[in-house]
Structure 1
Amino acid sequence: MRLFAQLAWYFRREWQRYLGAVALLIIIAVLQLLPPKLVGIIIDGVTAKSLSTGKLFAWLGLMLATAILVYLLRYVWRVLLFGASYQLAVELRQNFYQQLSRQHPAFYLRHRTGDLIARATNDVDRVVFAAGEGVLTLVDSLVMGLVVLVVMATQISWQLTLLSLVPMPIMAIVIKGYGDQLHQRFKVAQAAFSSLNDQAQESLTSIRMIKAFGLENHQSSQFAEVAADTGIKNLHVARVDARFDPTIYVSIGVANMIAIGGGSWMVVHGHLTLGQLTSFVMYLGLMIWPMLALAWMFNIVERGSAAYSRIRSLLQEAPSVVDGTRTLSAERGVLEVNIARFNYPLNPVPALHDVQFRLAPGQILGLCGPTGSGKSTLLTLLQRQFDISEGEILYQGIALSEIRLDDWRSRLAVVSQTPFLFSDTVAQNIALGRPNATRAEIEQAAIKACVHEDILRLPQGYETEVGERGVMLSGGQKQRIAIARALLLDAEILILDDALSAVDGRTEHQILQNLRQWGDGKTVIISAHRLSALVDAAEILVFNHGHLLQRGSHDSLAVSAGWYRDMYRYQQLEAALDDVPAQAEPLVS
């Protein structure tokens, strides 16, 4: 029953719908008492031979009219009640999505995708079912049960009514115990379902790799293990669930036995008529639904409560990066970085330390270094995906922690190492940040990213569906479409996080030439393993193990002993060897 208290905020807001549904349920409950009463009158009239044919048809017509009216009223309350519960589903999912969009990478280090999907779908469905069907069964069972009890006690016999209710308190205690067990077991079962969802999601997204390594049987066996564990935990829920109905039927059976035994004795001794006993037994039959509904209500509400606790635990989780309050002025500003130390959550080893630089508007900054040296971490901090442990990053003289996140990120256009494309057309993927961009603007951005000709060769050109995650495109095409998407934003600062790794040297050179023309007055930050991409940078930072190993222009670094000179010479030699035509082997006679 705790779920109703948890959702009290929604019931108060939608009180008109719920009150209307409850009022109609009460009217229906009262109308359903009429047929048993009329049956008792007809039986007594037939027994006493005082019922005329006209009256018989009149009573039967009244019963038919009652049935039709009940049908119409049930339709109306269903629209009111379930309309309100479906609106709750919309709000919960909207709140859930907004919460996910506010979170930062630290949140997704703790929660897996499959678990989040399970909470947004299966758990929300359970809560909505409880908010609709649960409210229905609660009100219907209480109203119907109380009205039937009042009629049985006042219109027929209060002594027989009390006698028939003897099994009910015992049944209520047993059902309450079942509900507590169900709450805990269903929570465990939902967690197992999340794990199953995780396994399915990971297998589907990595299906190419699984096939390439011939791991189909291995993955199938792993999935079978998780599915079997989920099945066992759901079976534990089903075992508790299966106890509800037998308990109700046994209680109702005992109540009927007591009612018929006691009622027969009262008929024999003249305390009741046969028609009254018949009506009483029919009224007692009407109690079967309230009792079953009460048990069912306990079942679905406990499931909904367990599901809502899982949803609420995420909705109440505050973002690890707190939004600032200050807004930026329209002019471009200087970016100043002074990072004393930064380490990822749950990792005591610093990912960056002692990093300082200053980037004026319109300059190009190059980042390079061995794999895992801290380049992408720095770019992550510039986007304020994490907060710095010690130090600060300033823009226009204001710390990023004080600037509104939306205001700061609107100044950035980012192309990551692994660009993500939606299952949509090429044009829509490029226009992601500017949905209202014209086709001419989209094509111009694609031309600058050197992907326009590739797009035209696709089956439907810019209207070609790229498939999930851009599955039908090559790595280089995906990178260039992502670059076009960033260029279309026309943002003040462009960040390329190893975004040219999948294109050839000639295409890279052309893209960089286009960027220099596009980026006149704009700030560009390029992280790259191929050092030829950094030649025109005003300053190049060389990272190693999270700190600055070298810094300077390309010309100065290329002649200074160190990592940059060695790597640049190696890459030049590699490029020269690639340009040498292969020597033809002599024919063997």
Structure 2
Amino acid sequence: MQYIIKQLGIYFNEHRLRYLVVFIFIVIASAMYVAPIYILRLFIDAIVQSEFTAATLTRYVLLFLGAIVIGYISEFIWTYNLFIGSYDLQKQLRERLMAHFLKMGAPFYHHFRTGDLMTRSSDDVQVMGMTVGYGLMVFLNTSLYLGFIIIAMAGTVSLLLTVIALIPMPFLAYYIFKWGSEVDRAFTDAQNAVSEMNSEVLEIIDGVRVVRAYGLEQVTAKQFNQRTTETKLKNDHVSEIDSRFAPLITIVLAISFVFSFGAGAFLVANQTITVGAMVSFQVYLTMVVWPMISAGDLVNVMQQGSASWRRINEVLQTGDQLEPDGKKSLETIDDIKMVDYHFKYPNTDRLILDGIDLSIKKGEVIGVVGKTGSGKTTLLRQFGHRYPYSNEIPLINGEKATSYEVRQVRTQFAEVPQEHTLFSRSIKENLLFGKEDATDDELWHALDLASFKEDVKRMPDGLLTLVGEKGVSLSGGQKQRLSLARAFLRDSEILLLDDALSAVDAKTEQEIIANLKQRTDASISIIVTHRLSAITEADHIIVLSDGKVTQSGTHHELIQVPGWYQEQYHHQQLKEDDDVLNN
């Protein structure tokens, strides 16, 4: 519990004015809720001592109503400010997590599964909000409110009677804190189980077509049922520990009532305290019930908050192992070089790229080809610094890429990856990710460059057509062309295409390649492809095999030299001729 108190202390210090208001008004509210009981004592004593008059009644009624009104207003003010803080903390945590997600590179997302990040960003953040809201409310009620009640019991009735009534309380405190540590461990296990379950849900939804295609619905459902059962059992364990508190508190308070009533009756008989004092003491003891029950809730909430904060903090403290930002600014890119460049993925020993030498100048179109698994996509990723550099660092304008501010470097790149990422929005909104202030004319021009303009015009809602989640309402070729249009709209100095024309027909491919050549001479295009027809007009082509450059040159040079490129080109030409004849 000390851990979460320390962490929340930082937040409270940042908003100390708000929590000073909370403290002041809860003190006033606590005093006002105790005051009516003292007024009740005076009221009863006046009746017993035959001193009750109309003026006495009026005075006590006005004092009683005044205490209630002031107490209500005070509690409204402090609870309002308290729960504003709860939602403010959730807002801050979500913003910090999202900012962290957006900054992190690929290694970070290998460390955490998507469902796990979702759980930490939603469930754990909500638990933290409950800790700052309901948890702090319970803490203040348990401490200040309970403190006022005990002071009133000891100061206005009898210190001896108060001590007797509180004899069972140390026993209660021992078990509250003993079981509280169990709640922390059990809740952490339960949240981890929820994270795993959410990850499986996302994977099953994404792969539902594969599951159905292989007839694995029943097997998948059975495996998922086992996961949900495990999650339920872990949450049941948390509930079992939580359920121990209320009965224990009820029993301890019942014992306190017996002790106080017996001792109080003895003190009244000896005229040590009045009847009104005895009645008020029993009411005070009744008021102790809520803070004592809250003490159990407080331990639960604080321990759960501690577990959730550790899970959130783990995400925030986990980096992506990428090299730190440089300080230099990057206005334009004149050339990119890789000199004897080697690369292997983190935590592996196998070289994916082995001794790459590559020089690219402004205005060039570079083709990258090779058999599957040769390192083409990895090469493209490392232009954008997706993974930590193993040893060598690419050079931009003769300087190491890490010398520049990473934000400025990334703005110079527009990438169309193999897996097209489309958002569940309209075509227009997806395009605006490329350039948020683009006009409709610019949008249509980008669509024209990607040979997607006519398709969009035929759609009933045009640019406002919803593409569905991950572009489900579009065909594979349409997804590719929309992604291409978004990249064209960005108009960055470097365009990276990773097999971005694989789902379009040959005619459409040639139209897009022709449009690509119309881009300004100030830009660089790097095209990874399996279809060699996409790079016949490239300024330079490299052939990769097992991470090494085995051939390089222009298309016309490479088809003259025996090797992989020549064989692959003739094979694809024959296949295209067969397709034409068959059609």
Q: Could you say which TM-score interval applies, normalised by the shorter chain?
A: over 0.9
Letter in structure 2 aligned against 1:500: L
2:509 equivalent to 1:508: yes
Instruction: List per-residue Cα deviations over 1:104-123 (Å, max 9, x = no partner).
Output: 11111111000001001100
- Number of the residue aligned with 2:295: 294
- Number of the residue aligned with 2:380: 379
- Which range moves more in the overlay, 573-582 or 302-311? 573-582
- Number of the residue aligned with 1:109: 110
- Number of the residue aligned with 2:125: 124
Instruction: List per-residue Cα deviations over 1:266-291 (Å, max 9, x = no partner).
Output: 11222122211111111111111111
- Number of the residue aligned with 1:561: 562
The 8 Å contact of residues 323 and 402 in structure 1, kept in 2 or not, is answered as no
Q: Hey, what's the Cα distance between the residues in 1 that align with 2:323 and 2:383?
A: 15
- Which range moves more in the overlay, 31-40 or 214-223? 214-223
- Which range moves more in the overlay, 66-75 or 250-259? 66-75
Displacement of 1:239: 1.0
The 8 Å contact of residues 387 and 401 in structure 1, kept in 2 or not, is answered as no
The 8 Å contact of residues 339 and 352 in structure 1, kept in 2 or not, is answered as no
- Number of the residue aligned with 2:450: 449
Instruction: List per-residue Cα deviations over 1:501-555 (Å, max 9, x = no partner).
Output: 0000000001000110124342110100000111011211111111112111111
Letter in structure 1 aligned against 2:347: L
Displacement of 1:138: 1.0
Q: Hey, what's the Cα distance between the residues in 1 that align with 2:433 and 2:389?
A: 30
- Number of the residue aligned with 1:537: 538
Letter in structure 1 aligned against 2:163: L
- Number of the residue aligned with 1:27: 28
Q: Hey, what's the Cα distance between the residues in 1 that align with 2:215 and 2:61?
A: 73
- Number of the residue aligned with 2:484: 483
Instruction: List per-residue Cα deviations over 1:208-265 (Å, max 9, x = no partner).
Output: 3333333322222222111111100011111111111112111111111100011111
- Number of the residue aligned with 2:165: 164
Displacement of 1:347: 1.8
- Number of the residue aligned with 2:239: 238
Secondary structure of residue in 2 paired with 1:560: coil
Q: Hey, what's the Cα distance between the residues in 2 that align with 1:61 and 1:220?
A: 67
- Which range moves more in the overlay, 280-289 or 514-523? 514-523
2:94 equivalent to 1:72: no
Displacement of 1:57: 4.4
- Number of the residue aligned with 1:206: 207
- Number of the residue aligned with 2:413: 412
Q: Hey, what's the Cα distance between the residues in 2 that align with 1:521 and 1:25?
A: 66
- Number of the residue aligned with 2:471: 470
Distance 1:482 1:145, change over 3 A: same
Alignment of 1:182-201 (within 5 A): 182-201=183-202
Letter in structure 2 aligned against 1:31: M
Secondary structure of residue in 1 paired with 2:394: strand
Distance 1:18 1:328, change over 3 A: closer
Secondary structure of residue in 1 paired with 2:258: helix
The 8 Å contact of residues 328 and 404 in structure 2, kept in 1 or not, is answered as yes
2:175 equivalent to 1:174: yes
TM-score (normalised: structure 2): 0.97
Q: Hey, what's the Cα distance between the residues in 2 that align with 1:76 and 1:51?
A: 36
2:81 equivalent to 1:88: no
Q: Hey, what's the Cα distance between the residues in 2 that align with 1:426 and 1:338?
A: 41
Q: Hey, what's the Cα distance between the residues in 2 that align with 1:188 and 1:581?
A: 60
The 8 Å contact of residues 129 and 300 in structure 1, kept in 2 or not, is answered as yes
Instruction: List per-residue Cα deviations over 1:452-486 (Å, max 9, x = no partner).
Output: 01111122011111111111000100100111111
Alignment of 1:24-63 (within 5 A): 24-63=25-64
Letter in structure 2 aligned against 1:473: L
- Number of the residue aligned with 1:586: none
- Which range moves more in the overlay, 12-21 or 286-295? 286-295
Q: Hey, what's the Cα distance between the residues in 1 that align with 2:361 and 2:337?
A: 9
The 8 Å contact of residues 343 and 391 in structure 2, kept in 1 or not, is answered as yes
Q: Hey, what's the Cα distance between the residues in 1 that align with 2:223 and 2:456?
A: 40
- Which range moves more in the overlay, 559-568 or 500-509? 559-568
- Which range moves more in the overlay, 58-67 or 468-477? 58-67
Q: Hey, what's the Cα distance between the residues in 2 that align with 1:436 and 1:220?
A: 46
The 8 Å contact of residues 103 and 320 in structure 1, kept in 2 or not, is answered as no
- Which range moves more in the overlay, 479-488 or 292-301? 292-301
Alignment of 1:127-146 (within 5 A): 127-146=128-147
- Number of the residue aligned with 2:281: 280
The 8 Å contact of residues 105 and 322 in structure 2, kept in 1 or not, is answered as yes
Letter in structure 2 aligned against 1:173: Y
Displacement of 1:153: 1.2
Q: Hey, what's the Cα distance between the residues in 2 that align with 1:222 and 1:400?
A: 47
Secondary structure of residue in 1 paired with 2:414: strand
Letter in structure 2 aligned against 1:502: A
Displacement of 1:322: 2.8
Displacement of 1:76: 1.3
Distance 1:328 1:5, change over 3 A: closer
Instruction: List per-residue Cα deviations over 1:135-179 (Å, max 9, x = no partner).
Output: 111112111111111121121111111111111111111111011
Q: Hey, what's the Cα distance between the residues in 2 that align with 1:10 and 1:420?
A: 37
Displacement of 1:331: 4.2
The 8 Å contact of residues 324 and 402 in structure 1, kept in 2 or not, is answered as yes
RMSD over aligned Cα, in angstroms? 1.4
The 8 Å contact of residues 108 and 319 in structure 2, kept in 1 or not, is answered as no
- Number of the residue aligned with 1:344: 345
- Number of the residue aligned with 1:390: 391
Q: Hey, what's the Cα distance between the residues in 2 that align with 1:252 and 1:418?
A: 63
The 8 Å contact of residues 425 and 463 in structure 1, kept in 2 or not, is answered as yes
Distance 1:346 1:330, change over 3 A: closer
Letter in structure 1 aligned against 2:394: I
The 8 Å contact of residues 330 and 405 in structure 2, kept in 1 or not, is answered as no
- Which range moves more in the overlay, 287-296 or 433-442? 287-296
The 8 Å contact of residues 341 and 354 in structure 2, kept in 1 or not, is answered as yes
- Number of the residue aligned with 2:220: 219
Which ranges in structure 1 are unaligned for 5 or more consecutive residues?
Answer: 583-589
Q: Hey, what's the Cα distance between the residues in 2 that align with 1:138 and 1:283?
A: 19
The 8 Å contact of residues 106 and 320 in structure 2, kept in 1 or not, is answered as no
- Which range moves more in the overlay, 492-501 or 244-253? 244-253
Displacement of 1:44: 2.0
- Number of the residue aligned with 1:265: 266
Letter in structure 1 aligned against 2:12: F
Q: Hey, what's the Cα distance between the residues in 1 that align with 2:183 and 2:463?
A: 53
2:311 equivalent to 1:310: yes
Q: Hey, what's the Cα distance between the residues in 2 that align with 1:181 and 1:382?
A: 49
The 8 Å contact of residues 210 and 216 in structure 1, kept in 2 or not, is answered as yes
Letter in structure 1 aligned against 2:153: M
Letter in structure 1 aligned against 2:358: F
Q: Hey, what's the Cα distance between the residues in 2 that align with 1:241 and 1:53?
A: 51
Aligned-residue identity in percent: 33
Distance 1:341 1:332, change over 3 A: closer
Q: Hey, what's the Cα distance between the residues in 2 that align with 1:117 and 1:394?
A: 37
Q: Hey, what's the Cα distance between the residues in 1 that align with 2:330 and 2:30?
A: 65
Letter in structure 2 aligned against 1:131: V
Q: Hey, what's the Cα distance between the residues in 1 that align with 2:309 and 2:399?
A: 41
- Number of the residue aligned with 1:439: 440
Task: Give the number of equivalent residue pairs.
Answer: 582
Displacement of 1:324: 2.2
Distance 1:33 1:328, change over 3 A: closer
Displacement of 1:332: 3.4
The 8 Å contact of residues 346 and 388 in structure 2, kept in 1 or not, is answered as no
The 8 Å contact of residues 332 and 493 in structure 2, kept in 1 or not, is answered as no
Secondary structure of residue in 1 paired with 2:47: helix
Displacement of 1:318: 2.7
Secondary structure of residue in 2 paired with 1:500: coil
Q: Hey, what's the Cα distance between the residues in 2 that align with 1:402 and 1:34?
A: 68
Distance 1:495 1:413, change over 3 A: same
Secondary structure of residue in 1 paired with 2:392: strand
The 8 Å contact of residues 340 and 353 in structure 1, kept in 2 or not, is answered as yes
Q: Hey, what's the Cα distance between the residues in 2 that align with 1:332 and 1:156?
A: 83
